[in-house]
Amino acid sequence: MQGIGGLTGDIVLNTLGQIIPLIIGVVVGVVVLEFLLYNLLAKTLKVKNALAYTLLAPAAIAILAFMLYPLFFNVLLAFSDLKRTTFPCYSPIARGECQLDHLYGLDYAVKNFSDVFFRVRDGEIIGWGRLLRTADSTFPVLLGRTVLWTVVNVIFHFSGGLALALIMNQKIRFRGIYRALIVIPWALPGVITALTWKQEFHAEYGFVNTLLQGIGLQPVGWLRDATAAFVAVTFVNIWLGIPFYMVMLLGGLQSISAEYYEAAQMDGAGAWHRFRFITMPLLRPILIPAVTLDVIWTFNKLDLIVIMTGGGPEEKTNILVSALYNAAFGTAATQQLGFAAAFSIVIFFILFLFAIVWITTSGGLKEIYDR
Amino acid sequence: MKYGKFVLAVVAVLLAVGSFGLTLAQDGGTLVMWSQDGDVNDAVLAEQFKVWAETTGSAFTLEIVNKETEVLRNDLQTAGLAGSGLPDMVLGPNDAIGVFVDSGLLQPLDDLFDMSMYPINLGAAQVAGATYGVPTNAGNHLMLMYNKSLVEKAPDTWEELIATARAIEEANPGVRGFAYNLNEPFWFLPFVHGFGGGTYDADGNMVLDSQAWIDAYQFVQDLKFKEQIVPSECDYACADGLFKEGSVAMIINGDWAIGDYKNLETSPALGPDNLGLAPWPKLPNGERPKPFTAGKFISIPVGVEGEKLDAVVSFVTWLTTDPAAVTAYALGTSRLPAIDEVTVDPEADPLLAASNEALLTGVGMPADPTLRCMWDSVRPQLEGVMSNNVTPADAAMEAQISAEECIEG
Amino acid sequence: MSTITQPTPTAARRQQNGLTSQQIRAGIGGVIAVGGLVLMVANQMNVIFLLVGLLLGLLVWKPFHGILVAYSIISVYPVLRIVSISLRPSTGLLSRSLDIIPAGATLQSYNNLFNEEPFLQWVWNSLSITVTVSIIGVAVAATGAYAFSRWRFFGRRPALIFLLTTQMIPAGMLVIPIFVIVAQLGLANQIIGLVLAYISTAVPFSIWILKGYYDTIPPDLEEAAMVDGCNRMEAFWRIILPLSTPALSIVFLFNFLAAWSEFIVAKVILTAQSVMTWPLGLNQLIGTFQTDWGKYAAGSVLVTVPVLLLFMWQSKYLISGLTLGSVKS
């Protein structure tokens, strides 16, 4: 290997040769595009709000190309019969006979979506369909575990973050130091967090069991026993999420004017009353978006589970998204990409439904799009 | 004024796009190999490639990308779907070949190579009469590996192994007697074979709930919970790491790791003098557990053609049939050659001889694509058995149900 | 700023009473700490007892500090463990010791990392991808967010909801299609391919945050500038953007952090050794067929420390960034 750490001048130049033209190209491209588009919209077509559309165009193109098109592709896959044995039909280069008379169709979609929920044999439903290889990987079990996972995490994130924020909002010495230390889990790269905790929950060599044994307790087979493994990943995710809330809520607390509290104190309101009737309502504008984002992120927390437990042991620590990942890419991959695409759409809709219900009932995001 | 800016902008875009194109065009002259063989062995292969390039004067260079079994399979499939990004060679165990052939991602090799050169193992890479892989070595088999500074004589039965392990743990505080990759079915199948079972019955149906399977689940569960002779938690990395640093006396591992263990730099507690190899110890029924055997195979994905294909074929032919090359590769990776013409002198490398002895106790691993259903169905059940949450009988029954569903699709 | 503890008559009285209870608590806390010391001596100098004693003592003496210290330890200790493992000699990697500075501490793992792995190349690749994504992401989002903030155009509401919706897409859902697109553009295994894939995920969140910030800037400012003869874009360029520097830097930082440690998409798009990013490289170090935990830990320390410093240094900014648009000014 030449150069220390494998870095040579050639590599640096080569990379720069790729990214500098890219940056210049994008910036120049954006300017040219906006110029042309504005002329077209405002001068030729005389569209109202032409400048707004012009300004949005670059972002819209980026999102269309790499967000909407993949989503569309995914829907298309759900309408296909793509699996190991039909692979040559769909791949432009694979060799082999294609046995299918049509590549995409409603019949495939019906089968793919019903496979997510049911096990169908000869047109009859004979039970819940297995998404992976055990009876613990059926849709209702996974959904239940996902809800449990999300609720437990969000509750602990919120209460832990709020408690820390309330304490930190006091006039307390070393506040800056405490805050710097407490945000560390949030700042750690996710891969490193997951791999490190995986090692630390090792029954023989991790510090968790060493500590337990140090104070005279029995060691626990954290990643070997299904329940313990679920507790372990939940703990790590709580550890990860508390700093986010602490930071958000502390910012909110600090923006509440002291006058409110003084007035309340004049009226003889106790600490609980001040918390209940001043702090909480005034934190609401921060809390609602924070909880919304947290629910979405927790529900979709893939890397932590995949790296720490891989969904095991006995497939008992999977939530919906990790089951999807394992079904599409994992050791128990069924290699039915059509089915996996349908499964991912189902997950997406569950979350989407939640978001719609939550946003309309809480009204917390209203100001974000109404202002 | 406005026009001037516009022209300038267009020129800049063209320049940018042009330099884009240039960087893209730089590719070429490189053969890409996806390998599942591990870094130590890949390094030997890279050296061999250099020798080949020098002798033939080829301008090609080789880039080896190391991938885990599952990752390799997924990436090959994704690249196939995209229609580009496939490597020029794939090096891996034979059980993936069936899956890739089903997906139409490999080229048949019968017209490219003289297949009569490879009498051993060829069946392991054949699907529907065509051959899709060239063996680089024979083996890929699990065996008993021990540290000679801790173990005087390799145990011949599990009873002896347990006694030896206990004695070692008593005599050396902090050292474990025995460890292996507890939850991985590849390490479990040999027990099933030892108890007289297999994956398929005589008619080719998958049977995962026979008495042999139940006996095997019971045996490994007892090793852990009754005899308490294995660590409460141990995966590949754990057994491998402990063995290298001398903290465990005996492990079960495959021939791919021998090169690593012979190396004093990576394995300070072992090296050529302290590493001992032996066949699996005998079960109470007098049989030895039989590891799956085959070897590693080089396959050529679809889409490799022209000069690249010629170079690949020439290199692989040389690597696997040229006597000097085969010997060098076998000695470098401490694995057995796949062709009859070359045999390694036991005197020259006693470890290879011992590995060969263990190889003879194995059973061949089929390239059937449904084998995946067995691995996937057994893994969660084995995890349940090894945490004492599932009884051996239930594990066998559940695995059978799951495998049937898997095969039905 | 907070004035909850400003002395009012009641609070002052409580403080006077508190003095004695404070002393009592200090006394009890001290006793517990000494108890921990005694237990440690009684248990073969097991330091855990002393530490637990000290912590419990502090909890009784000054509960707030006790809680914060305890939580800080929980936050920091796992990180210190990585540092500790990176310093272990190769023969003692799998040790049960809890020491932060291990016995026989050595920098060998760092040495091995640089000599045996193309570590700097991984970091360089990550860095160039991350910086490019952050720059382009901010540039594209800055104008888009401005449109969302200042105009009520057709399709605005659904578009904003769609931006939130993008956060809900399961990661596994996009990996295959993104790879297929990138490969069809001929960009598989190219740094540019990954940059393009990341920009699309960076833009929606950036727009969200920036829009929130623009909302807090009164439109009067631009209107005043436009009266002075600027056109709308000049007003945006001269007035809004300079005022938004904090928000822009936060967005830059968020995009940077997200791309810096991304793993799942990178794993599919980049496979060649020469273009690997550090998460892929470090993951390779702990792959199934080789385990160099020491090298892995050394690499983790090296990639994490700059991010941590950046994060701590910018943490005030980050707080304001996340609460932008939620808190009315």
Q: Beta strands B61-66 and B176-179: pairing type?
A: unpaired
CA distances from A171 to A168, B339, C2 (A): 8, 79, 8
Answer yes or no: is B18 within a domain.
no
Residue pLDDT, tens place only, C67-125: 999 999 999 998 888 888 888 887 666 667 777 777 778 888 898 888 888 899 999 99
pLDDT score at A210? 87
Selected residue of B2, B31, B78 to mutate for chain C interface (largest C Cβ count, 10 A): B78
Beta strands in chain A (DSSP E): 118-121, 124-128
Same domain, C38 and C172: no
Q: Is C319 in the same domain as C250?
A: yes
B270 and B234 within one domain: yes
Residue indicated by tokens 């700042």: A187
Nearest CA distance, A185 vs chain B (angstrom): 26
Q: Are residues C6 and C141 located together in one domain of the fold? A: no
Identify the residue with better confidence: A351 or A215. A351
The predicted-structure confidence for C114-167, as pLDDT tens digits, reads as follows 888 889 999 999 999 999 999 888 988 998 999 998 888 888 888 888 887 887
A127-152 confidence digits (pLDDT tens) = 888 888 888 889 999 999 999 999 99
Domain for residue C96, yes or no?
A: no
**Which of the residues B24, B109, B233 would you substitute to probe the A interface, choosing the one with the greatest number of A C-beta atoms within 10 Å?**
B233
What letter does residue B171 receive in the DSSP assignment? H
Residue B5 domain-assigned (yes or no):
no
Check: CB of residue B405 under 8 Å from CB of residue A130.
yes
Q: What percentage of chain A has pLDDT greater than the value 90? A: 21
Using CB atoms, pick whichever of C10, C98, C154 lies closest to residue A210. Answer: C98
How many Cβ pairs closer than 8 A exist between chain A and C? 343
Query: Total structural domains in chain C?
Result: 2
Chains that touch B (3 or more CB pairs under 8 A): A, C
Highest mean pLDDT among A74-78, A364-368, B114-118: A74-78
- Separation of CA B371 from chain center: 15
Start-to-end CA span in chain B (Å): 67
Residue B189: the pLDDT is 96
Contact yes or no for B232 and A335 at CB 8 A: no
Dihedral (CA of C259, C263, C269, C274) sign:
positive
Kindly report the CATH number assigned to the domain that includes residue B239.
Answer: 3.40.190.10
pLDDT of C92 reads: 67
Nearest CB to A15 within list C115, C125, C326: C125
Task: Give Cβ neighbours of residue B311 (< 8 Å, ≥ 6 apart).
Answer: B31, B58, B60
Give the number of other CB atoms < 10 A from CB of residue B321.
18
Average pLDDT in the C255-269 region? 85
Give, for B292, the enclosing helix (H) or strand (E): strand B292-293
- A 158-177 near B (Cβ less than 8 A): none
Q: Which residues contact A31 (CB under 8 A, 6 or more apart)?
A: B9
Does C75 map to a domain?
Answer: no
Q: Are B371 and B95 in contact (CB under 8 A)?
A: yes
Strands B248-254, B176-179: pairing is parallel
- List pLDDT tens digits, range A325-341: 888 776 656 667 888 88
Q: What is the mean pLDDT of chain C?
A: 80
- The CA-to-CA distance between both ends of chain C, in Å, stands at 14
What number of CA atoms fall less than 13 Å from residue B202's CA on the CB side?
0
pLDDT at C289 over 60: no
Q: What's the domain count of chain B? A: 2
Please indicate whether residue B396 or residue A99 has the higher confidence score (pLDDT).
Answer: B396
Residue B148's domain comprises: 142-292+367-408
Contact (CB, 8 A) for B361 and B291: yes
Beta carbons of C271 and B75 less than 8 Å apart: yes
Contacts of B256 in chain C (CB under 8 A): 289
Whether B7 is in a domain gets the answer no
Q: Indicate whether B10 belongs to any domain.
A: no
Rounded Cα distance, B220 and B392, in Å: 10
For chain C, say whether A71 makes contact (Cβ under 8 Å): yes
In a domain, residue C90? The reply is no
Q: Report the 10 Å Cβ neighbour count for B211.
A: 12
- CA dist C119 and C13 (Å) reads 62
Answer whether residue B39 is part of any domain.
yes
Domain A139-335 belongs to what architecture?
Answer: Orthogonal Bundle (1.10)
* Shared-domain flag, residues C166 and C277: yes
Q: What is the pLDDT of residue B319?
A: 94
Going C200 to C202 to C205 to C211, the CA torsion angle's sign is: negative
C144 and C234 together in one domain:
yes
Strand B126-127 to A124-128 pairing: unpaired
Q: Does A348 touch chain C (CB under 8 A)?
A: yes
Query: What 3-state class would DSSP assign to A327?
Result: helix
Q: Are residues C149 and C29 in the same domain?
A: no
Which chain C residues are closer than 8 Å to B241 by Cβ? 93-94, 291, 293
Sheet strands (E) in B57-132? 61-66, 89-93, 126-127, 130-131
Interface of chain B toward chain C, CB-CB under 8 angstroms: 20, 23-24, 32, 34, 36-40, 63-69, 71, 74-75, 78-79, 81-85, 236-238, 240-242, 245-247, 256, 260, 268-269
Neighbours of C279 (CB within 10 A): 25
CB B232 within 8 A of CB A206: no
Whether C297 contacts C119, CB under 8 Å: no
Q: CA B291 to CA B140: how far, in whole Å?
A: 9
Tokens of B18: 């042009």
Q: How many residues are given for chain C?
A: 329
Asked if residue C212 lies in contact with residue A368, where contact means CB atoms within 8 angstroms, the answer is yes
Q: Give the SS3 label for residue A128.
A: strand
pLDDT at B345: 73
> pLDDT of chain B along its 409 residues, tens only?
344 455 445 445 544 554 444 444 444 588 999 998 887 888 899 999 999 999 998 889 998 888 888 788 888 888 888 787 889 999 998 888 888 888 889 999 999 998 888 876 677 888 888 899 999 988 889 999 999 999 999 999 999 999 999 999 999 988 999 999 999 999 999 999 999 999 999 888 999 999 999 999 999 999 999 999 998 888 888 888 889 888 899 999 999 899 889 888 878 888 889 999 999 999 999 999 999 998 899 999 998 999 999 999 999 999 999 999 999 999 888 888 888 777 777 777 888 889 988 998 999 888 888 888 899 899 999 999 999 999 999 999 999 999 998 887 6
Question: What single DSSP character describes residue B278?
Answer: E
Q: Which of C168, C236, C292, C293 to mutate to test the interface with A (most CBs of A within 10 A)?
A: C168
What integer pLDDT is reported at residue A359 of this predicted model?
76
Which residue segment(s) compose the domain that C266 sits in? 113-323
pLDDT band at C287 (very low <50, low <70, confident <90, very high): low
Q: What was the pLDDT predicted at B178?
A: 96
Our CA angle for B402, B406, B408, nearest 5°, is 120
Structure tokens, A360: 């309309």
Query: How many whole angstroms separate alpha carbon B48 and alpha carbon B54?
Result: 10
CA distances to A96, B192, B193, C141 from B291, rounded to whole Å, are 33, 10, 8, 58
pLDDT at residue A291 above 80?
yes
Residues B171 and B71 in one domain: no
Q: What's the distance, CA A196 to chain centroid?
A: 20
Handedness of CA A322, B92, A86, B79 (dihedral sign): positive
Q: Do A335 and B86 touch (CB under 8 A)?
A: no
Per-residue confidence (pLDDT) for residue C7, from 0 to 100:
46
Clarify whether residues B272 and B385 are in a common domain. Answer: yes
Q: Is residue B15 part of a domain?
A: no
**For position B132, what pLDDT does the model report?**
93
Helix/strand/coil (H/E/C) assignment for every residue in chain C: CCCCCCCCHHHHHHHHHHHHHHHHHHHHHHHHHHHHHHHHHHCCCCHHHHHHHHHHHHHHHCHHHHHHHHHHHHHHHHHHHHHHHHHCCHHHCCCCCCCCCCCCCCCHHHHHHHHHCCHHHHHHHHHHHHHHHHHHHHHHHHHHHHHHHHCCCCCHHHHHHHHHHHHHCCHHHHHHHHHHHHHHCCCCCCHHHHHHHHHHHHHHHHHHHHHHHHHHCCCHHHHHHHHCCCCHHHHHHHHHHHHCHHHHHHHHHHHHHHHHCCCHHHHHHCCCHHHCCHHHHHHHHCCCCCCCHHHHHHHHHHHHHHHHHHHHHCHHHHHHHHHCCCCCC
Chain A nearest-CA distance from B240, in A, is 14
Percent helix / strand / coil, chain B, rounded to 5? 50, 15, 35
Tokens of A39: 């002329």
Share of chain A above pLDDT 70, in %: 94
The answer to whether B82 and C179 have CB atoms below 8 angstroms apart is: yes
CA atoms in the 13 A half-sphere facing the CB of C68: 23
Model pTM score: 0.86
Give, as one character, the DSSP assignment of residue A43: I
**The predicted structure's pLDDT at residue C320:** 61
Distance CA C105, CA B111 (A): 58
C132: CATH: 1.10.3720.10
Two tokens at A105? 């169709």
Q: Is position B57 within any domain?
A: yes
Question: Can you tell me the distance from the alpha carbon of C177 to that of A77, in angstroms, rounded to the nearest whole number?
Answer: 9
Tell me if A252 and C315 make a contact (CB, 8 A cut-off): no
Same domain, C203 and C317: yes
Percent of chain C with pLDDT over 90: 10
Distance CA A367, CA A365 (A): 6
Label residue C180 left, alpha or beta by phi (over 0 means left) and psi (-120 to 50 means alpha).
alpha
Of C176, C200, C311, the CB nearest to A62: C200
Task: Using alpha carbons, list the distances in angstroms from residue C13 to A171, B23, C9, C17, C24.
Answer: 18, 76, 6, 6, 18
**Adjacent-strand bridge partners of B138:** B336
> C28 in a domain, yes or no?
yes
* Residue B306 belongs to some domain of the structure: yes
Angle formed by the axes of helices C245-260 and C191-216, to 10°? Answer: 150
Q: Highest mean pLDDT: which of A102-111, B70-79, B117-126, C10-19? A: A102-111
Joined tokens for residue B44: 């030997």
Give contacts of B 139-198 with A, CB under 8 A: 183
pLDDT at A21 over 50: yes
Q: Are residues B210 and B194 in the same domain?
A: yes
